Homo-oligomer: A and B are copies of this chain.
Amino acid sequence: MAERGQSIAETVKAIAEGHLTSRQWVEHCLGRIRDNETNGSWSYVDEERALKCADELDWMRNDGSAFGSLHGCPVGVKDIIEVEGMPHGCGSTLMGEVSEVNAALVDALEAAGAVILGKTETTEFAFLNPARTKNPLSFEHTPGGSSAGSAAAVASGDVPVAIGTQTNGSVIRPASYCGVYAMKPSAGIIPRTGVFEQSPTLDQIGLFATSLEDLGLVIDVLSVHDSRDPHSIAVPRPSCFAGVKAEPPMEPNFAIFKLPYSDLQSDACTEGFREVADSLEGRVEILETPPTFGQLIEAQRTIHLTEAYHAFDAMGFIGNSQLSEVMTQMLTEARSVPRSQYEEALIIRDSLTEFFNNFFEDFDAILSPSSSGEAPPLSEGNTGNPIFCTVWTLAGLPSLNLPILQGENGLPIGLQMIGRRRDDARLLRTARWFMTALFDEGEA
């Protein structure tokens, strides 16, 4: 039941066929959460609520009136995403009020039959100050951030899927460090309503799972429209589950950019990445970065800081002593960013978007490391460098973490695969082809 190697779709099918109950699946995961408590992956778990929900789903299954694509599937939700009846912690003592309404994406999960077990730990307001979460693969190392608990909960088998958010590298980086699959779909595909707003321009939703197929299945559920979110697109979403299962019409082509920050990569990261590139032989092209790339990291930071300052100002939190030192420093720096610099940064971002609008006519996906290397030790006091995610997030492109590289200490490093905006199904199709080609893994 819910074994490693069994997909969510297969487990849901087992429930449909009566070989397993929702309650058994939920009880199994609640047991895992209790066993793994020292991981510090969860900020809140409501066992009673979860079991009651599972029982109702079992009743519906037996009654035959309705059955969802995630029927009975336990899910963890990052603690900056509102869940009705659960405290909205946001990794800060300033928050913690019980939510009265679900985030839009949580409504979508529930309508598909998912069982929300609780909230997963986040760094303070999804910024830099580390969560209490440990990397399940090595308690001396960071799980990354900001979606630390979601990555760790999936890595330790607490839940088959957990939801996170990414403003810079908060999904792909922790997935890289914890060795799980993850995807941040295109901006606009999953609505952000009910999610703590750090940066309206940059905030995006992502998720962690143990296979590409599971990612596709859950993204299809999350991909609803909500006109309260100005980024939410009012048209159909890509069919991601079908995408994972589809054969590419021809063998895909990949691009690798010579990134201006590749000197940050660890040796193992560089070597592993080169091996992957070599194995793709004629299917990969190494490209010089366009000149604008040099400005992008700074432009992202300008947008991020400026909008975050607005968010904290609106909440009345500027100068609050309950904020961490690193947060206070960041807000102080944000205050000195001139408006003109912010407006220029938005123009730079627009030119980046335009660049990528045409780029994917020649390539199916871009390859990059997901992080500079394996998870840094906790003793360094940070959650690692998000820079290998920055550009793709800034452009709103869909990106995947594939847990296939390894670092000097035997900890995982992810390979990042980036696709065309709003073509998420093709990215998953390409990734599946890639995993099969590299590892002959039909069931990646």
A interface list, Cβ under 8 A from B: 53, 56-57, 60, 65-68, 71, 84, 101-102, 106-108, 110-113, 223-228, 232, 234-239, 420, 422-423, 425-426
Contact = CB atoms under 8 A, between A and B. Distances in A.
Given A101-B227, A111-B225, A227-B101, A236 B422 contact: no
Given A66-B239, A68-B237, A107-B234, 4 more contacts: A65-B238, A66-B422, A111-B237, A113-B235
7 contacts: A56-B235, A65-B422, A66-B422, A67-B239, A68-B235, A107-B227, A111-B223
Given A66-B239, A234-B111, A235-B57, A224 B227 contact: no
Contact of A66 (B56, B228, B236): B236
Nearest to A189: B66
Nearest to A71: B236
A65 B426 contact: yes
A66 B235 contact: yes
A206 B420 CA distance: 38
Contacts of A228: 101
Closest 5 CB pairs of A and B: A68-B236, A111-B225, A102-B227, A110-B234, A107-B225
A422 B113 CA distance: 15
Instruction: Please indicate which of the listed interface residues A57, A106, A223, A228 has the most CB atoms of chain B within 10 Å of its own CB.
Output: A228
A108 B225 contact: yes
Contacts of A239: 66-67
A359 to B, nearest CB: 15
Contacts of A60: 235-236
A374 B293 CA distance: 70
A248 to B, nearest CB: 12
A422 to B, nearest CB: 6
Given A113-B235, A235-B111, A236-B113, A66 B227 contact: no
Contacts of A225: 107-108, 110-111
B237 A84 contact: no
A419 to B, nearest CB: 10
A66 to B, nearest CB: 4
Nearest to A223: B111
A65 B111 contact: no
Contacts of A234: 53, 107, 110-111
A53 B235 CA distance: 8
Given A65-B425, A426-B65, A111 B71 contact: no
Nearest to A113: B236
B101 A224 contact: no
B425 A66 contact: yes
Contacts of A236: 57, 60, 66-68, 71, 111-113
B227 A84 contact: yes
Nearest to A420: B65
Contacts of A423: 65
Contacts of A57: 235-236
A239 B238 CA distance: 21
A444 to B, nearest CB: 22
A101 B234 CA distance: 12
A35 to B, nearest CB: 28
Contacts of A67: 236, 239
Contacts of A426: 65
A239 B420 CA distance: 33
